[in-house]
Structure 1
Amino acid sequence: MSQPDMIKELLLAQDQDGKLSEKQVKILEAAVEIFSEKGYAATSTSEIAKKAGVAEGTIFRHYKTKKDLLMSIVTPTLTKVLAPFMARDFVKKVFENDHNSFEDFIRLLIKNRYEFAKKNLPIIKIFLQEIAFHEEIREQYKAIFNEQVKKKFFAIIEHFQEKGEITDLPPTTVIRLSITTVIGHLFTRFIVLPNQDWDDEAEIERTIEYIMKGLRKDER
């Protein structure tokens, strides 16, 4: 089975702590595929075992519970795959560019996250579907965001506030409004209505317009 780039990265990340057996690789591949299609709660370990071509007991020899199996996918994705990506690529491309306007920054942010989600959809679907239900995932994500992104995001907001381009709301509020809108767009696009006849370019521009109307400084 051809694996998306992130699944390959995930398996490499897992192997840093010791070589995975062939059966473990098959279990992880099957779990990623079924979790992304059906969600964690609706997936049984028997389904994963059948898809992986192993006995159900084999799963429990490697992972004590279904939750352990989920975390074995999400944890290295966040700490060993997403975190380095955010540090090397995401932050460099999005936060360390010289943006002519806050609108240009938001456009680059949305398009970057859209391409990333599209390229790595199975893992991203699991992350977006499960983050609301698992405190461990939320805490790991918050730690990565605070370490890698928060200060640079604050600096960009304050820069365009000083230029008078966006409203003088607290930077944490601007971040909340911007990120929830971007994540909401991606969640709807790839999870809620993935089969909708999307005009992605037009929808991205509408999302940008929505954010900017809320944040643009009142000239009155």
Structure 2
Amino acid sequence: MNGPDNLIEEIFEQSDELTEKQKKIILAAIQSFAEKGYASTSTSEIAKSAGVAEGTIFRHYKTKKDLLYSIIEPMLKKFIAPFVIKDMEKVLNEKHASFEDFLRAMIENRISFLSKNMLLFKILIQEIPFQPELKALFKEHIGTKVITRFTQVVEHYQEKGELIDAPPLTIIRLTASAIFGYLIVRNLLLPELDWDDQAEIDQTVQMIMHGIAVPKQA
């Protein structure tokens, strides 16, 4: 994927107003939120890990939730959404690409991207179900925009006769479940396994395109 590989570094580079202490606080918060979860992390723990006084955190962020959002919002708004959308627009402009090629490229890009940003991704997955404001941010910056673009991708390949005549949202749901199910198991649940990414990508693509049932004999 063309775009920032390491979101934390990118956020720091594009935020000239951040002090060195703020950067240390953010890095410590990311580590703690990812390992223990937002609710189980205290600002005193973050301060100790960052090597600053707890009061320093509250000089920059009014609450612990403000600190969480200062990490997540720029990640969603400035970095993830634009490059996900750009990927899909590139596919729409590629007249000879197949839906299978599109799926393969999407999965390969996400594996590379998530491996460099796993802590941020883990925080996002953990906290969205419990943070209504975070869920709203995700929907605003990624959910609605990506579904709109993905619908265009599905309709594009339906017009080419590659996909069945089903509601695009159904195809999107099934496709996204398979892709992100693999990424979550690989990177969050069982990262210690010796994954053969190419073989797993091939299997995932084939499952999406052809299902898991053995074709009935005529």
The interval holding the TM-score normalised by the smaller chain is 0.7 to 0.9
- Residue 122, structure 1, aligned to residue 119, structure 2: yes
Per-residue CA deviations over 1:109-149 (Å, capped at 9, x if unaligned) read: 11111111112222222222222222222222222336643
- Residue 169, structure 1, aligned to residue 166, structure 2: yes
- Find 1:149's aligned residue among 146, 151, 155: 146
Structure 1 unaligned residues grouped into runs of 5+:
none
* 4+ residue segments displaced more than 6 Å: none
Q: Which residue of 2 aligns with 1:192?
A: 189
CA apart distance, 1:29: 1.2
Residue pair 1:125, 1:190 contacting (<8 A) in 2 also: no
1:144 partner amino acid: H
Cα distance change of structure 1 residues 146 and 71 upon mapping to structure 2, 3 Å threshold: closer
Q: Which residue of 1 aligns with 2:49?
A: 51
Q: What is the TM-score of this pair, normalised by structure 1? A: 0.83
- Find 1:131's aligned residue among 128, 131, 143: 128
Cα distance change of structure 1 residues 167 and 91 upon mapping to structure 2, 3 Å threshold: closer
Structure 2 unaligned residues grouped into runs of 5+:
none
Residue pair 2:81, 2:146 contacting (<8 A) in 1 also: no
SS at match of 1:83: helix
Residue pair 1:13, 1:76 contacting (<8 A) in 2 also: no
**Larger displacement relative to structure 2 (73-82 or 159-168):** 159-168
Matched positions, count: 212
Q: Which residue of 2 aligns with 1:25?
A: 23
- Residue 111, structure 1, aligned to residue 112, structure 2: no
CA apart distance, 1:181: 1.9
Determine the C-alpha separation between the residues in 2 that align with 1:30 and 1:211: 39
SS at match of 2:130: coil
Q: What is the TM-score of this pair, normalised by structure 2? A: 0.84
1:159 partner amino acid: H
Residue pair 2:34, 2:119 contacting (<8 A) in 1 also: yes
Percent identity between matched residues is 51
